[in-house]
């Protein structure tokens, strides 16, 4: 039986809204981070390999298959929140050099004070600006999970941004990106086309009900110039909880449906989720 929590929720204003850290009564050191009522991260300080959100599990699967299992990876995280995946990499691949870039300086202060930063460096900065300052061909993986509240910033949706990421990757490195969309998936299709413009191989992972157009939800994209282990990804994504479908090859091209890559000149705002998604 889980121990009862004695921690009190923490609520503080941050740069881009009002943040709350809420203790999980079922997990002694589990915390849910919300900004303006929108869940941003779930962190279990006792068990950093526990990935609560379904899309984060998919990103974890991709990280597990990025290079020999257990060996260190150089990882850049664009978008921090509670730094769930940085903690996961630190636990599963000890010694991995990792930098997390988060634009909200006050949120960074909260995370440093309440959740800590063991195993990674947490910096304040804009994603695009940070990429421009880094040395090319130095990262094994770049993860894009940049949200302001429930919205993905336009600057992180374009081919100019993706090419910056591509330049930062070592040969065979991978760019993993989280976005959210619903039917008719105009935004997601454009993002797939954008990823495919920069990388030779692209996979799409999402809950089957999302891909069938039955609901709004997270869609995970991954791009690399080396093929992904689609069979192993599909095996992992068939888990009983957090099940997902993996699209690769022709399926990705079919999903994109003739969409054009998004540019800085043509980018539009990402869709906001329906209020019902967060129970508001």
**pLDDT tens digits in sequence order for the chain, 280 residues long:** 344 455 789 999 999 999 999 999 999 999 999 999 989 999 999 999 999 999 999 999 999 999 999 999 999 999 989 999 999 999 999 999 999 999 999 999 999 999 999 999 999 999 999 999 999 999 999 999 998 766 789 999 999 999 999 999 999 999 999 999 999 999 999 999 999 999 999 999 999 999 999 999 999 999 999 999 999 999 999 886 778 999 999 999 999 999 999 999 999 999 988 866 654 3
> Which pLDDT score, from 0 to 100, does residue 280 have?
36
> Which pLDDT score, from 0 to 100, does residue 132 have?
94
Sign of CA dihedral 222, 101, 40, 155: negative
> Which pLDDT score, from 0 to 100, does residue 115 have?
97
Distance between CA atoms of residues 111 and 38, nearest Å: 17
Tokens representing residue 105 in the block? 């300086």
**Residues 92, 64 contacting (CB under 8 angstroms):** yes
Spatial CA neighbour of 102 closest among 121, 118, 125, 83: 125
> Which pLDDT score, from 0 to 100, does residue 251 have?
98
* Angle in degrees, CA 201, 51, 234, rounded to 5: 35
> Which pLDDT score, from 0 to 100, does residue 131 have?
95
Q: What is 49-271's CATH superfamily?
A: Vaccinia Virus protein VP39 (3.40.50.150)
> Which pLDDT score, from 0 to 100, does residue 240 have?
60
> Which pLDDT score, from 0 to 100, does residue 196 have?
98
Does the model's pTM come out above 0.75?
Answer: yes
* Angle in degrees, CA 117, 79, 21, rounded to 5: 60
């Amino acid at each position: 039986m889980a121990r009862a929590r004695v921690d009190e929720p923490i609520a503080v204003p941050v740069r881009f809204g009002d943040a709350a850290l809420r203790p999980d009564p079922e997990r002694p050191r589990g915390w849910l981070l919300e900004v303006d009522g929108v869940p941003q991260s779930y962190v279990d300080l006792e068990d950093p390999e526990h990935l609560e959100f379904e899309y984060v599990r998919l990103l974890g699967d991709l990280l597990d298959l990025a290079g020999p299992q257990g060996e260190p990876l150089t990882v850049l995280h664009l978008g921090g929140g509670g730094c769930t995946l940085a903690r996961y990499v630190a636990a599963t691949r000890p010694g991995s050099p990792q930098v997390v870039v988060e634009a909200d300086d006050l949120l960074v202060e909260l995370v440093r004070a309440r959740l800590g930063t063991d195993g990674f460096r947490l910096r304040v900065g804009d994603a695009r600006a940070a990429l421009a300052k880094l040395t090319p061909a130095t990262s094994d993986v770049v993860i894009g999970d940049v949200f302001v509240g429930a919205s993905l910033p336009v600057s992180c949706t374009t081919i100019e941004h993706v090419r910056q990421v591509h330049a930062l990757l070592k040969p065979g490195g991978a760019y993993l990106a989280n976005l959210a969309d619903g039917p008719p998936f105009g935004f997601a299709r454009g993002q797939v086309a954008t990823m495919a413009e920069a990388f030779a191989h692209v996979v799409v992972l999402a809950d089957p009900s999302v891909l069938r157009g039955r609901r709004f939800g997270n869609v995970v994209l991954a791009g690399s110039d080396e093929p992904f282990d689609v069979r192993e990804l599909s095996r992992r994504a068939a888990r009983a909880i957090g099940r997902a479908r993996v699209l690769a090859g022709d399926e990705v091209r079919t999903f994109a449906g003739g969409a054009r890559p998004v540019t800085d000149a043509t980018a539009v705002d990402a869709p906001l989720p329906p209020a019902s998604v967060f129970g508001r």
